[in-house]
Amino acid sequence: MKKCLWFFCFLIILFSSAVRSEEVVVEGEAVPAPETIHSTGTITSIDTQNAMSEVTDVGSMLEESAGVTVKRFGGLGSFSTVMIRGLSPNQVSVFLDGVPLSSAATGIVNLADLPVDALERIDVYRGVAPLGFGDAPIGGVINLVTRTAKKGYSLGGAASYGSFETYKADAFGSASEEKWNALLFYSHMQSEGDFEFLDDNGTPFNKKDDRWVHRKNNDFTSDDFLLKGGLKLNDQWEIFAADEFFNKDAGLPGWGSFRVEDARISMLRNMTYLGARYLGKKAELRSLAYYTYVQEEYRDPEGEIGLGVQESRYVTNTAGANALGRLFLSDSVMLALFAEGRNETYEERDLLNDETGPESRRLSLIGAAQAEFYFFDARLIMVPTIRVEHYEDHFPGRSSAYYYLPAEEADTSNTYYSPAFGVRATPWKPLSFTANVGKYYRVPTFLELFGDRGTIVGNPDLKAEKGIHSDVGAELNLKIKNWLDSFLFAYNFFYIDVDDIIVMTQNSQSTARSENVSRAELYGHEVAMDAVALGFFKGRVAYTYQVAKDRSDIPYLDGRPLPGRPLNELHTRAALFKKNKGEIFYTFDYLDGNFLDRAGFLESPARRIHGAGIMVTPAKGLEMTFEANNIGDEHVYDLLGYPLPGRSYFGTVRYIFAGNSEE
């Protein structure tokens, strides 16, 4: 522990030294923000600024990226998770403006609880992530970047209506001058979610009792507020701050033929951050302090889902601060240093009995150093990285008075070292090649370490999942005057070996316990193409071929495909457009059939989903969009018993009054 604290302090001292350095001067522009930069990593930036003109969510946006698979427990607003290169959702970290949303409690982020209309873009880092994030998990990082005020001022809003009584409304106002900027954004969405699906009546092999029914208790209502601003103190220093508030109430419909009428879950999240940035000719410093409060309430008044009647509240508090510094030591060497301290607490409360469970706590100290070496006028870049992560977990224990099973006090303390190395070669300006390899970890969650109210028994002796993640790739970026406005082709091959995978195993007839019992091997190919041609055509293709195998010591599982990982996944979008007039677009998504269980008994069939729409701009600032999803009315599901919607239609009207803004 002392070594980690000394290392943490040492990095902070180096940051200060780097910023105070005035001896070296370099020509050119100020160093760009490092949270969006990694010289050798694989990144996909998804433009979400048109999300206001559609009825969509973060999961749908992420599906446009190669190497990304989204799993849904239903339609719009339902619980959904993301996998990168076949790695599980708790092996992927999600951030909002660089603030971690993945918690120590469960490690999984519900994509349906993330704002999409308030976003400017989504950055997906597959494998290697930039130094500016506190987590560097095995799978990768997803960073949701919120909108910023454009120069001048603007006001706008949008309203949508569509199938299943779905409503959406957005409103925003922004202003930006030379020294300051401010933005206020509000989004409301609600839906009954009562789409029709084929109910097999709990007998999948007997087609005679199948029937079409409507999804019940699948409604939701959500509201999201974003207040964001910045102040430029001088030519080098600026400060920025934001507060995001999200509130949602949703029904829990149950699975398949098992109907749930009254169970509900609500969620409240408030995230606040304050940061400062120094941009110099030779150095940069970015610091960020943040606090996040998350409260979830689960209500099952009829005991339809859990063990009897339940009404519980779960509260997570996360407070942290980090700093990232970059210093160009010469024309051929750049040094980057990162440090973060984070404290998380998690508490459960039984609202029926007015009893509060014990508070779990995790302290995280993270330090990292990275160098970039430039050769042959930066045509060859080498990037070695070392991360040191120290975690201290405390659990005060619990008696059987409130919980079904007692649990002893437990404390864990672990330190992990993660080396990585990347290289980028650019033999021709439009063409570059990259290669990366690194060792990564996934620390057990509170649920895995300490258990819950009796159904899951804690295991404080769990080891962190560890893995080697490697990839090689190529990227071609071309423009041909009067014909090809832009063309991007990217290819990547990845290989991942993960050991000590934590699996929930049956401990008794009524309880389960997490164990390090498994290993996995994953490899595959990713292809992405994006083109704008002839002044009226836009096209996008994202294709993933991945093999994910269970390498468990259990004989009958060794070599079997990991569930929920399709072999082939394809997303395409084509559009004919006329600038300032509108566009007509068509989308096609293909997903191979895949197994839903580890043993390979249950299989989801392949799916082919077609979509289309039209957007027109009849007047300046006014947009009108009509879209049709799943035109073929395919009835599919990502997980057994959780159907996805069939054919649906949505219409949106958007208007932006942009005074003298660049909007």
The dihedral built from the CA positions of residue 114, 390, 373 and 26, taken in this order, carries a sign that is: positive
Return d(Cα 608, Cα 515) in angstroms, integer. 38
Return d(Cα 139, Cα 128) in angstroms, integer. 9
Distances (CA, A) of 150 to 179, 229, 235: 13, 11, 19
Return d(Cα 212, Cα 214) in angstroms, integer. 7
CA atoms within a 13 Å half-sphere pointing along the CA-CB vector of 322: 25
Residue 138 and residue 467 in contact, taking contact as beta carbons nearer than 8 Å? yes
The dihedral built from the CA positions of residue 50, 54, 56 and 61, taken in this order, carries a sign that is: negative
Cβ neighbours of residue 328 closer than 8 Å, sequence gap 6 or more: 24, 26, 31, 282, 283, 334
The dihedral built from the CA positions of residue 189, 194, 200 and 201, taken in this order, carries a sign that is: positive
Report the Cα 189 to chain-centroid distance in Å. Answer: 20
Return d(Cα 190, Cα 211) in angstroms, integer. 27
276-298: burial string, b at 16+ Cβ within 10 Å, e else: bbbbbebbbbbbbbbbbebbbbb
Task: Spell out the alpha helix ranges (H) of 41-95.
Answer: 58-62
Token output for 49 = 């600024």
pLDDT of residue 648: 93
pLDDT of residue 247: 97
pLDDT of residue 107: 85
DSSP 18: H
pLDDT of residue 88: 87
Residue carrying the six token digits 């394809």? 570
pLDDT of residue 557: 74
Split the chain (663 residues) into runs of 10 and give each run's mean pLDDT.
Answer: 42 37 31 50 86 89 90 86 90 93 88 92 88 87 92 91 94 92 96 85 71 87 96 94 96 78 92 95 93 93 78 93 93 94 92 84 95 92 95 78 60 92 94 94 83 68 89 93 90 93 64 78 94 92 93 77 88 92 94 77 84 92 93 82 87 81 53
Which residues, in sequence order, are bridge partners of residue 272?
243, 291
Return d(Cα 99, Cα 289) in angstroms, integer. 9
3-state secondary structure of 177: coil
Phi-psi region of 354 (alpha: psi -120 to 50; beta: other; left: phi over 0): left
Residue carrying the six token digits 């660049």? 662
Residues in the chain: 663
Token output for 496 = 């991942």
pTM listed for this prediction: 0.90
pLDDT of residue 32: 35
Residue 587 and residue 611 in contact, taking contact as beta carbons nearer than 8 Å? yes
**DSSP states of 119-155:** EEEEEEEESS--TTSS---SSEEEEEEEP-PPSEEEE
Which residues, in sequence order, are bridge partners of residue 6?
none
pLDDT of residue 74: 83
Token output for 362 = 């995790």
Enumerate domains of the chain plus CATH numbers: 2-408+421-657 (2.40.170.20)
Residue 525 and residue 491 in contact, taking contact as beta carbons nearer than 8 Å? yes
